[in-house]
Chains A and B, each alone.
Chain A
């Protein structure tokens, strides 16, 4: 499609955003204060917001525009990362901040909001373009979508709706949510945010795979032995005990973030780098994940829950002793799953995915282990298989491990590493996932957003595990791993059954 703006220069200018208003539901909440408004302010610093950009915050708390501005200024000052707070930019940014108080279930809120948005469109020349952002409890999504029904079909401009995860609690509730949202918004108006896909390093997987032809011939069952995806957190539930107890690691991390990462690692190249094409390939991969039969679950999935431990001289409570958590909770604070992908490229290659809280360190990475040499010329101990590690966080980068001759007489091999480090190679600040994703939504690019068929395919992959875990308590008693360790021994046994071991990230 030809660009209607002849003044663009894509080689030099960042992606442009058309004039618009962003309406945040849940504007008094944590996400708004910690992520959304600081990210938008960062975009303002980098001149990436359109002229007249406006934010209309809504929540139940009565507040004037001015009070909202002051609250957001305090939030930005507290949560702005790697940037200096600039008063002049804030003043300009704050002129576009407005606030509407009301109950999400009350039609009055939407009447007031409609009038306010008309004023804002006039005052800020937003052209009637509106991005709605649901930063509320998931249980309120359908209520808000219903309330926005009259606003969802514009006379002029565009309307889009951003929805935060979780997209349902299971496959059934995900479909119910879809029905509720689709009643008022079409699929191309819906932007389901998975902030993992907005991370630079996750996007870099696509660049690495499809921009470097030397790896593609190796990227299949013939050369890859198995893949390990790890998302470990060293912290516990940090005050989110009540929420987390209902979610668990499988729902909170694997069903969404890590399956999206898996899909990015394993998808086929799309013909073009366009939203529909890329998302089609991701969806196709997710649909290729082999569904578990109930009998398979015990051998392919391991739940875990951390117990108390002393780490570095400090006593760490077990999950059941965390505030807001039921002392008998059966929540999985750790989950490890062996996924198999039924297609020609990946048949027989296990994808081990694990995520847990209170692990020894915070790390997210993907390790691709290549097959060993077919016949070793050297001692079997020294010739280790190649390992490609894509580090998502921290120390984002890529490492390739291979064997090298140790200097000296004889032929002793030692593993060495070739490292690419994002920070040192580019030496500049990378945008946060929310900056990337907010610009994409305003610019109408859903490439990094999840589509309904992807959501359903992800639920289909984990639902049998959830069903079995809900109906059959785990074989060993919870807790089954002490805080500060790499998870339950049953997870090691799961890999050992295939002759593999978890690497230590």
Chain B
């Protein structure tokens, strides 16, 4: 169970300052001078010795805040906030027993509202990411050329991290933390023992494996819905128009699949359909097999390829998770090479089904767009012209009708009279 604290790090040294300034302001109601209180959720397993420290962010090397606990490791802070369009705020009431004991009679007065609605949640962070920039440092600086990496002691590696406003050296004084960091380093490094000290050198294959395992775990336990929606479903989504085509072709090719059962079965097993697939997708799979075996026209195979198989979806999830980890915790230079080797041919996973699917999808999309654009422009042009013509006709009809209503039958019939040889009356009579 997490504890909620209404102050900045209550156990850290600056916390006392924050406390006193808060209680003072509560009494005198002077304008708040310092930063407004922030709401944190800290892990309950973190010991009281845990400190909020500043360490370089592994992605961009900027100083960032982390929670370091000598016993349980390092935590990063995730900021959770309502969108700007929905302003929220916190009502913080310091009425817990411990707070009362500390602030005494001011307890009720110290309740306050903060403007910001942020909630900071400390989540466990693999210390590996923190030291990764140091391990990959040579690579990042030398660029594309394969660098010669040296076996270095952990201290030598850690010295490469940006030193300014970093508390790294302080937390390394905790034995447990140092051991933790070194153990994580050894997971991605080749090590040699030199006397009583271990020397480390980054091994990219090991690193790739570690990241891959993380990504696998992440995709297995399910991506957050918003992420899944945006990076998995949307990417794999086929144009709607062709779905209709697909269902039609499915129906027509079903008898085929029935007659050519053996081929269909073998094809299905080849494509390693996962057991969780729905009835509908299995039908589409068999129809794929049937049509491909029968060698029917191309559009039908493309159409049936539109349904992303569960395998493809899994691959896309894995890729998304991997890219998320790379984008969040790994220096950009290293992340690029990792991504390349991950999705490349020598990677731990075969992405070819996903790539094939995406390629056909891309082709389909461009085709659909072209067809649609054509359709649209042609239809629109025609519509406009037709509309105009129709409106014109309608207007004329209405005018005609009105005119007809206002003239008598006799007048209409007189119009048909042959007046040849008859001069106009204005020829005989002068105009007034």
A and B: interacting chains = no
A residues in contact (CB < 8 Å) with B? none
